[in-house]
Structure 1
Amino acid sequence: MKKRQLGVILTACMLTGVLAGCSDKEAGAGEGGGTDSKKPVTFSWLAYDRVEGKIRTDWEIFKEIEAKTGVKVNFQIVSQEGLTEKKQIMIATNSTTDFIQVSTQEGREHGPDKIFLNLNDYLDKAPNLKSFFEKYPEAKAVATGADGGIYTVPVIEGDAEGKGFNFIWYTRKDLLDKYSLKAPTTMDEFYQFLKAFKEKEPTSYPLIPNAIVGDTGLYTVFGRAFTGIHGFYNIDPATDKYAFAPYHKGYKDSLTFLNKLYTEKLLDPEYSLLTQAQWEERILTGKSLVTYFWKADLESLTEKARKAGKADYELDAIPQVAADGVKNYQFSRPVIGAVGRAISAKVKDKDRAVQFMDYLVSEEGSNYLSLGIEGKTYTKENGQPMFMKEFGASPFNTLRKDWGVWYDLITLDNAKSREVWERGLSDKSKDINKRYEPFIIPAPKQIVKTQEELELEKSKLNNLNKFLEQKLTEFVTGKTPINDTTYQQFIDQAKKLGSDDLLNMYNTAYTRTYGKK
């Protein structure tokens, strides 16, 4: 970093104590002899305020945790928008908070440089962490650096059976019933379905995506429907190898299909420019009628529309569709997430810090972070935890705001929270889950890249993605015609930007990580 920038950072550190290197001595941050496991100690922890509710100092679960462990958590709070930059500065200056969430890749990359504590040195004193890594070999693989050290505790996202999933197709059931429309089951029926909606609701643009890339992005969803590849690069379930979706014949067909929707005004003409707020407004007001989104939001969006005066408004799921001959699937939530909790290598009381991490991975500690307090945030029915009924269809809002439960950058087991939430779903939501079960297949495991592979990815992937997003938008909106010549030019340019190099790298890393042939 430039000297001036470093000076500003260090000055801010001295003035505000935001960086972990400026731990609040009066709070005893990271201090304590380590011999008394209940001796009061305070650890700093980087977090951000969520839209559901801000970080609070009086969350009861942390009072309970402090009573059990002697550890007080001092959250260092940043905005969600400033989180990435703050984390990067902390890593660059080796001044992270005592506890911090980073990507497992960041853990592997910077852990050996003494930025994060090597947990492998403490596993004999941390039985829960030791059991965790024995139970989840993938977690150990993605947490282990080139030097053999373990630098993160990856967050658990999905169940081991690979059944949990996130996304569904929404449509307006009240209008479906009103016009006696049949939910589509094939891609051609999907097109006819949108045409029928346009005919009945001529001022609408029936299909609206909330993004163009990402899990719910237009190009991701339709690319998968026509090629069987989720996103630009991913595992092809048919071959168990990485594939680049635009190389598949069906990808050109997906663009032709989307261009037809765009031309016939069945797709929102501003689809590539929409904000999340605009997407929601158009869904709630009936300007758009079909979308692909998080299943967890279906009932809350219905409720929001009804409160706004649309008494008959109702969203429901329609089947997931795919082109003829293409596997119709959706990946489950991955069991092991791409992020994990790390401990600063500079934490003053390393033993106590590891003890605390070990407690948070234990059943009791994990329950506090993922479920809360029995009798206050959840009860047990037939021995199974259930979130309080008064929290409604979206209990995570209350849990996060009032209790700090299931809170991003804090919880270590999202899968446990989701399992309990889904246990208490409405009959309608349970029915949607059942309808989508046939489409769900286990998510691919993460790959571990070497430093050279990381450099290759950094040097090529961002520019390639920007090109793909721009060119696909030109194809769909008709700015560039779709024919054999223009599509070949598109592929040729992708190759120049490194599409082959990246594909080979992903397959090499996948083979090395999991012994695939």
Structure 2
Amino acid sequence: MKNWTTRLGSVALCTSLVAGCSGTASPPPSANGETPQGSEKTKNTFTMLMVDHPNWPYNKDWVVWKWIEEKTGATFQVQLPSGELKDTINLNVASGNMPDITFFTGRADADKFGQQGVLANILDYIDSMPNLKKWLEKYPGIAKSSLAANGAMYMLPNEGFGETNRLIWMYREDVFKKHNLNPPSNYEELIEVSKKLKELYPGSYPFSFRTGPRLAILDYASAQFGTHSGFFLDEKTGKLRYGPTEDGYKKMVEMFHRFHKEGIMPPDWLTVNVQQWQNMVSTDKSFMIFDYIGRLDLFNIPMQKTNPEFKLAFMTPPEGVPGFKVNPYIHFIESGMTISARSGKIKEALQAYDWFYSEEAKTLLSWGKDNEIYTNENGQRKLKPDYLDVTDVRKKTGLATNGAYTWFDYDAHLAPATPGQREAYDQARKHDSVFRVKPQYNESELTTVSMLQSAVDKHREEQITRFILGERSLDQWDQYVAEAKKLGLDELTKLTQTAYDRLR
């Protein structure tokens, strides 16, 4: 990944020079990315393929497009796929008829096509993107995770909107207070308080979740045991680790086995669906959950209409092992905009998107113009009564829709939330685990990695499930590790180490 480190050094050098390194005749942006008043905006129209959302279908008359044009001179001829976005992209690639800009829902496909020469390498144009330069320095982890195996960047990175995916522990504060119970500070206490709740509420399952399939719940809980459900770099030593063979992972599995054995979680935890889970939480059948933070208002608002005492609240994540009162860092998204390598307007498109990485753009594309969507009352922004909620804002204005943001201030979506929801976000941000950069395999490695990963993951899911259900004794853990190695774990480790070495 020397390509990236060399460029990052160039970014730092250019940032320190007032004149910059761009060489472009465009006026330099101000400190917050604003273009000087009176400067001429070059008009450009770009073709764009993107996918919309049924709750806020694309509208060419959204005011957000007007605001973007005012700041960048860019307008967009938007195309929507007639079927699946992925199928349309494949057809465009095959025909060689790519629009200037294409929205990808996943970075892997963008990196694959980029390395095939279909998409432009954004870093080739970084000297004409002063705002993005500063932004990449501000978010080095995201910068690294945005790179393909060859050190190129094919998708415009994003930050902020992933907050919608934040996971937290929550508990029924009203029930705990009623019975003089304290929220657990570790997993042993979680078991003890769950036993008391089962005595008080026969037939209940004090801890429930809807993420049993493919053991997703363990992907999330592993952070509290100082490990991970796959490969990761140790933040202290920089060494490669594979979580599912570690002692911390074994301890987590042991805890979930005890949850299952003692009826702390539902017996059908592997298949509980959303509706079943919601019924348990809303009918005093479950009192601690681990899910998206938005569930707080989803439960509290309707439940408090019939039971004013009902209160689901943020719970500090319990430690699995000492020092890990953390929730997993999964609040990021890996979708975004790419530029066709065949476009005749690559530099122009990237210069337009460069503004998106300015403070000015972050504010405008999150909150809208002053007093048009949110009012400012005594220093606090409030959603105007013209809008029911943030979904209505997206539907009517286009804010926070695909293609209309890269750097988002999620506080805009918290403004209409209840005080409890906003407080939960404040608390949750104090308990983030580290952001883990994923390995980027090159095309020559992908076939082997895919084959080995499939075998190792299948074995892990099957055997860990058996450990939790008690169908296999944890005394056989070393045998389980040996089985994984026979399936190719060591070879997969070497390939992954090579992929991570490219990040250095």
TM-score range, shorter chain: 0.7 to 0.9
Partner letter of residue 203 of structure 1? Answer: G
Equivalent in the alignment of 2:289? 291
Deviation at 1:76, TM superposition (A): 3.4
Identity of aligned residues (%): 23
Equivalent in the alignment of 1:484? 475
Secondary structure of 1:312's partner? coil
Equivalent in the alignment of 2:491? 501
Equivalent in the alignment of 1:407? 401
- Deviation track 1:338-386 (CA, whole Å, cap 9, x = no partner) reads 444211223354444334323433444444433323212234578x783
- Deviation track 1:218-238 (CA, whole Å, cap 9, x = no partner) reads 22244343x411323334445
**Which moves more between the two structures, 101-110 or 192-201?**
101-110
1:171 equivalent to 2:171? Answer: yes
Equivalent in the alignment of 1:58? 61
Deviation at 1:107, TM superposition (A): 3.7
Contact in 2 for aligned 1:104/1:154 (Cα 8 Å) = no
Contact in 2 for aligned 1:176/1:182 (Cα 8 Å) = yes
Equivalent in the alignment of 1:439? 431
Secondary structure of 1:101's partner? strand
Q: Distance in 1 between matches of 2:169 and 2:281?
A: 13
Q: Distance in 2 between matches of 1:488 and 1:40?
A: 62
- Deviation track 1:478-500 (CA, whole Å, cap 9, x = no partner) reads 3x222323x33422332233333
Secondary structure of 2:211's partner? coil
Aligned partner of 2:246 among 220, 245, 248: 248
Secondary structure of 1:342's partner? strand
Secondary structure of 1:100's partner? strand
Q: Distance in 1 between matches of 2:454 and 2:386?
A: 41
Contact in 2 for aligned 1:386/1:421 (Cα 8 Å) = no
Partner letter of residue 316 of structure 1? Answer: A
Aligned pairs (5 A) from 1:66-81: 66-77=69-80
**Greater RCO (CA < 8 Å, at least 6 residues apart):** 2
Deviation at 1:293, TM superposition (A): 1.2
Q: Aligned pair in 2 of structure 1 residues 150, 332: CA closer, same or farther (>3 Å)?
A: closer
Secondary structure of 1:54's partner? coil
1:313 equivalent to 2:317? Answer: no
1:48 equivalent to 2:52? Answer: yes
Partner letter of residue 76 of structure 1? Answer: Q
Deviation at 1:391, TM superposition (A): 9.0
Q: Please, what TM-score do these two structures have when normalized by structure 1?
A: 0.76
Q: Aligned pair in 2 of structure 1 residues 177, 405: CA closer, same or farther (>3 Å)?
A: same
RMSD: 3.7
1:232 equivalent to 2:222? Answer: no
Q: Please, what TM-score do these two structures have when normalized by structure 2?
A: 0.78
Secondary structure of 2:406's partner? coil
Contact in 2 for aligned 1:154/1:412 (Cα 8 Å) = yes
Equivalent in the alignment of 2:25? none
Structure 2: runs of 5+ lacking an equivalent: 1-39
Equivalent in the alignment of 2:319? 322
Q: Distance in 2 between matches of 1:210 and 1:306?
A: 23
Secondary structure of 2:208's partner? coil
Q: Aligned pair in 2 of structure 1 residues 378, 507: CA closer, same or farther (>3 Å)?
A: farther
- Deviation track 1:40-94 (CA, whole Å, cap 9, x = no partner) reads 62522312315x4333333221133235545433443459x94445445545555
Q: Distance in 2 between matches of 1:409 and 1:465?
A: 34
Q: Distance in 1 between matches of 2:87 and 2:79?
A: 14
**Which moves more between the two structures, 141-150 or 257-266?**
141-150
Q: Aligned pair in 2 of structure 1 residues 177, 389: CA closer, same or farther (>3 Å)?
A: farther
Equivalent in the alignment of 1:388? 383
Equivalent in the alignment of 1:458? 450
Q: Distance in 2 between matches of 1:504 and 1:72?
A: 47
Deviation at 1:412, TM superposition (A): 0.7
Structure 1: runs of 5+ lacking an equivalent: 1-35
Contact in 2 for aligned 1:169/1:319 (Cα 8 Å) = yes
Q: Aligned pair in 2 of structure 1 residues 107, 475: CA closer, same or farther (>3 Å)?
A: same
Q: Distance in 2 between matches of 1:325 and 1:120?
A: 42
Contact in 2 for aligned 1:228/1:236 (Cα 8 Å) = no
Q: Aligned pair in 2 of structure 1 residues 387, 296: CA closer, same or farther (>3 Å)?
A: farther
Aligned partner of 1:98 among 86, 97, 100: 100
Deviation at 1:433, TM superposition (A): 4.6
